[in-house]
Structures are given as structure tokens and as C-alpha cells.
Structure 1
């Protein structure tokens, strides 16, 4: 048992480079973690602790009404019982100060750092947020990163690694949905249309989530049955349109030659779903759980994906675009008949991700108690 309730700080990025809650899933993840930790009986205080000059969050993070406590890490570090490294990398001195007061330090790794470090190494890119000599008591990560990152995190971080459940709430989706209602725009899949609008939302920032397989799936489905596809929106590709490799790739497709597919910018996903989408086609490599999937499922939109970690939606194997195309055609022709069952299954799955789910609360509490044994 703990001798007292805990004062927990989670490092958080406030600067303008991350000014939109939809720009980075890790930012949402930290907000959900914060709200979950507030529910633990062993926690007295939770703060998002920042480093840097900015002291208030950008409006685009949409957290003003969530009653979130924000403090400077340097001001409170010697008071913390538990410091969780979140979206800001902490310094070894912070670890030392926490440890000097009998506290613990955890690194919460939400991204596939191993793959991103390999990209930095192979392509001589600017290195990202990895390790800097902090003395961690534990490293927490998520199920989608266990395969590639477990050994990397443990050996380089010199700490035991624990897998936490992926958590999600429709907090931010609901904010967008409320705005759409005021404009009389409906969020949620609308059965009835014989031809469908398809969208893909892969980030195209690294090789973990790219548009290449969704493009191949859509191209093959269009070649086989062009009358089923009304339009294809490939989001997060507009800034890539002049890259020679991408230009040559899409330039060979019928869906571009016949103006069926357009390259689009980054958008708030619930807004784009409501306005332009009937079917979502996704692809990932070693990143089987992400919030884009949950936004689609929340609206009952048919999600075609290749994630073995996702028990709902319509799954194809690996990089098999032929299989994905067959599934896409089948979804366009038959999803409407199965819509109610699909929606029930999606909602049941999303309930398992909730920060109010007893299993999720218990798993986080047990990991924290384990730190202080």
C-alpha cells in the first residue's frame, strides 16, 4: 500500500508546432491518460507539466473546458511522486530531482520509436524523441508497438517495459460533431447510395502509415467495377503531389487519369467524414491501433483495414491490395444490409477503450502500484 496519495505530472507539449488536437495522436493520448489518472483512488493530483516559454495551450487543442491543470515542470518537479514522460522529452536532471524525493519516473512511449529511429539512421534525418540518459523506473507502451519496440525500449532505456491498453474517448469528435449539427451537417454513415465516396486518412509522415496501399486498393476496385465508386479522396497527400516518386506512382492509375481520385490536405477527421465520406480505406505497418480508426467506427462508417489488433471493421491481409479491393467492392454492395449489426459491434469495441472502463482503470492503477512496491 502507498503511504500517501500521489502527485502525478505528465510532460506535455504546449508550443504552436502542435496547435491542433487532430495533428498528432499522442496529444490526444496524453489527454485521455490525464483524465483516466484523475479517476484513480491512489492519485491526489494530476498536472500536465510543460517545458518551454508557452504557458497556455493553443485553442486548437480544444481542452479549455476539460478542467485540466497545467503547471511548469521546473516549478513542481521536486513535489512530484510520479513523473510521466509524455509528449515532451524530460531531462536527466528532472529524473534525478524526482528520485531524490523518493518518486518514480516513467516514459510513456506512444509512437513506434524504433522504426522512426531506423528512418533517421538510414536517411540521415533529424533524430526524434528517443533516449537522452534519463534513469527511468519503467517504460509504458501500447499494444501496437510491442512487436517492434519492446526490446529496443527495454535495452536502450535500461528499464522494464509494460504494455498498457490503448484508451480513447469521443471527447474531441463530439466537439466537432456539435459544430456540424449547427450547420445541419450529419455525422455518421448514411445508407442508401449505390455509388460510394471513399476516403483515406493515412498520415504519410513515415512508412508506418502511408496512402500507397489504399491507392492500389481503390485503383483495382475501380478497374474491376468503376460504376461503384463516385470519388476517392486521398487526404494528407496534397503536400506530396509534386514529389516525383508520388507523381509517377499515381500518374499511372486510372483513378487519377479519369479524375476519380484527388489529393487532399489534412483535415479534422470527423468533419471530413461527415461532409465527403461513405467508406474509409486504411493501411498501416506495425501500427495497428490509431484514433483515425476509432473516429470512423464511432460514426458507423465502414472501415477497410489490415490491422490484426482491430476485431471490428473489414480486414484484408498485410499488403494484399487485391484482397482489399475485393473487400471494398463487397462493402459498397452489401454494407448497407449489415449496417445495424456493424454499428453495434463498433460501439461495443469502442466501449472497451473508454477511460471509464473498469479494466482500463485497474490496469493503470496496478502498474503505478507496481512502481512503488
Structure 2
């Protein structure tokens, strides 16, 4: 079986700018382990002739091909990182190639927010694929996707590997920095340096709830919060609502808030923070959470998927999130080893090399192509 996966290249790209680039690479790691997969090519829907440098360094032999040159190179196409031309998809499907739309973004918000706000976005003809693959975080939207795309929707496992974090760790440590949580004695309250990495381009992942939780913890125990570092936020500084909210925070009034641009997780944590707090809405599988757990950092989150690891608070329960921060400041270091063992056990289940993940993706691919073979062998 020959597989093509769409990617969207652009100038200055990095795997740290969003999770999708890493999702694609983890899938490639899995597919390369399957014995029936003969080759994998990346279908370049962008304007560059190379991958992000982090991905290229780890897989320099991974071919990047314009879709129009790949019709004879693929048996299955996964539209994942870049939108493929529908005329080309019609052409390859007519030749028996199977097309899967691997929907990694939150599908409802991807439609609704852009319709309501009027912001430009990419949207393609719904009836362009043979199947949809989704992650567990989007299970609630299966009926919507089936109605919109008029084809079967299948859930596949979320994948994660430490390969990008470990490579970046080596780079920051070569520069004299240290990545990974360093517990203290636990005998006194730790002044937390809390970071939030939400993209702040959608209600799906936004910094507002974490900011309020940090402020609630600070007002309850000022010694517990030394700094609140809000990434991807400088563009909102002059927005009246955000400015008003920021000015109302006790943390801001005491000069303990840092607004910043985007930074990669490893570099930021190795310099500026020791605790991570997050919030999501119907998007509870995020690579950031897993990178934080891998580094041993206390992670305050509201992801039901991750309820057994980190510090989970339900929905938008700000007092519960603030209570977790206070607990981390006072108690976490005493149980840090247990925290890390629980995190390690969870992460191991997400490996692209884990047998249950390999078998699940193998079944989906074989079922997809078996249907194609049956159709080809049916007499007219």
C-alpha cells in the first residue's frame, strides 16, 4: 500500500507553531511500522519545497511531492495538513485511489466561528472523500460530519511521541538551559511561575479562564504565584475587553503578568515557567498537555480525556483550578515521583509504536482498501 498525506508548507514554518505538523509526523512513524505499507509521500499543498526543519532533521528521506505529480504514487490519500484540489481528488478516485479526510481540527467551530465572524477560512467541497477519520475529542460531531460529507466517519487513536521534545531539549541544554521540572524540598510554599500556551484565536483554546484561575489563587495566597506568563497574547493587549479584564486582575496590579508572543514549549519552560495551566472547549486532546507531562511539569487542565493525569478541574470551574494551583505550590513536590509515573503510563498508551494503535490504524486502512478491491473485482 502506498500512502500520501497532505501537508501545508510555508515560509518560516516550524512544528511548534501548531500541533498538526507533529500529528502528521507521528502518523508517519506509525505507518512506517506497518508491514503492508510500501511507501509514504507527503503531498505539498503549500509554497515551499521542504518540510519544517525539525521534521526534515528527523526524516530527511521523507518525500515531499506536489499532488499533481503524485497520482501514480498513491493508493490511499489522507487529506490532513493541507486542502487538496477537488478536481485532482476526483481524478484519483476515478482510478481507484481511496481518499480519507483526517479531521484534526474541531469541526464545528471551524465552520461556525468563521461564518459568524466573517474571517476568511478554507472550505472545500464536502463530497470529496470516501471516509472521514476523527479523534476521540470530536466524537460528539460524528452526526454533523456524516451529514455534511455523506460518507462513513471512523474514530482513530490520538498519537504522541517525545521525539520533538527530546530533540529540542538537546538544543536548549546545549545553550546552558535545563528542561524538566525540578522539585524542591516541599517544606515551604513554592512561588509558581505559571505559563499558558493557548493560541487565543478561537474559543476552543483561550487564556481567559486560566488567567482568572491564576488570579483567584494569587488573591487567596499571594506567595503562591510569582509570575503569570501569557503566551500568544500581545495582539490582544489593546482590545477593550481584554484590556479591561487584564487591568482588573490583582496579578496585573502587582506587576506579575507577562504578555508575550508565541514561543516553543521547551524553550519557554526551560527559561520562564515551572507550571502549566490550560483550558479547552470540546478539544480535550492536545499535544501541549503531553509535552508538559513528559517534562514532569504540573499541568492544570480541564480535559476529561486526561482526567487520570495532571491536575484536572471540570469544565470552567475556576475555583477548582485555583485550588489545584495552591495545592501544587504547597504539596506537589512531595508527590512528584508518583505524578511522573502516572504521566508516563498515560503517555505510553499514545505511542505510534504501541501494538493497539498499530492494529487500529491497520484495520482502518485494510478495510478501506478491501472495499476498493471488491468494487474493482465486481463484474459489470
Band the TM-score falls in, shorter-chain normalisation: over 0.9
Instruction: Point out 4+ residue stretches in structure 1 off by more than 3 angstroms.
Output: none
Contact 1:108 1:140 in 2 (8 A): yes
Gaps of 5+ in 1: 1-5
The aligned residue for residue 15 of structure 1 is 10
Q: What pairs with 1:282-297 in structure 2 (closer than 5 Å)?
A: 282-297=278-293
Where do 1:77-226 residues align within 5 Å?
A: 77-128=71-122, 130-147=123-140, 149-192=141-184, 194-226=190-222
Q: Are the counterparts in 2 of residues 82 and 103 from structure 1 also a CA contact under 8 Å?
A: yes
Checking the alignment, whether the CA contact within 8 Å between 1:235 and 1:263 is kept in structure 2 is yes
Partners of 1:83 and 1:98 within 8 A in 2: no
**Shift, 1:348, TM fit:** 1.1
* 2:236 is the counterpart of 1:265: no
C-alpha distance in structure 2 between counterparts of 1:355 and 1:36, whole Å? 5
Q: Counterpart in 2 of 1:250? A: 246
SS of the aligned residue for 2:70 comes to helix
Which residue is equivalent to 2:375?
Answer: none
Q: Is the 2:106–2:138 contact (alpha carbons within 8 Å) kept by the matching residues of 1?
A: yes
CA contact (8 A) 1:353 1:360 kept: yes
Deviation at 1:65, TM superposition (A): 3.4
Find the counterpart in structure 1 of residue 67 from structure 2.
73
Structure 1 residue aligned with 2:57, among 53, 57, 64?
64
**CA distance 1:313–1:52, change in 2 (3 Å):** closer
Alignment length (residue pairs): 364
Provide the rounded CA distance (Å) in 1 between the counterparts of 2:197 and 2:173. Answer: 23
Contact 2:15/2:52 (<8 A) preserved: no
**Following TM superposition, by how much is the alpha carbon of 1:186 offset from its aligned partner in structure 2, in angstroms?**
1.4
Q: Which runs of 5+ in 2 are unaligned?
A: 371-380
Task: Give distance in 2, aligned partners of 1:336 and 1:300.
Answer: 11
- Greater shift, 119-128 or 173-182, is seen at 119-128
Q: Describe the SS at the equivalent of 2:214.
A: helix
Summarize deviations over 1:213-246 as a string: whole Å, max 9, x none. Answer: 0011001000000011111111111121111111
Distance 1:230 1:53, change over 3 A: closer
TM-score under structure 2 length normalisation = 0.93
Question: In the alignment, which residue of structure 2 is the partner of 1:367?
Answer: 364
Q: CA deviation at 1:49?
A: 1.2
Q: Give the whole-Å Cα distance in 2 for the aligned partners of 1:110 and 1:309.
A: 16
* Aligned-pair CA distance for 1:100: 2.3
CA-based RMSD: 1.4
SS for the counterpart of 1:233 is strand
Give the C-alpha shift of residue 315 in structure 1.
0.6
One of 328, 333, 336 as aligned partner of 2:333: 336
CA offset digits 1:196-219 (Å, max 9, x no partner): 211111110100000000011001
Cα distance in structure 2, aligned partners of 1:297 and 1:263: 24
| Secondary structure of the structure 2 residue equivalent to 1:309 | helix
Deviation at 1:134, TM superposition (A): 4.3
Does 2:342 align with 1:345?
yes
Post-superposition offset of 1:259: 0.6
CA distance in 2, matches of 1:264, 1:127: 25
Q: Which whole-Å CA distance do the structure 1 matches of 2:195 and 2:23 have between them? A: 24
> Any idea what the Cα deviations from partners look like across 1:22-54, whole Å, max 9, x if unmatched?
111111111111221111112101111113442
Contact 1:95 1:134 in 2 (8 A): no
Aligned equivalent of 1:228, options 224, 227, 237: 224
Q: Distance in 2 between matches of 1:98 and 1:38?
A: 23
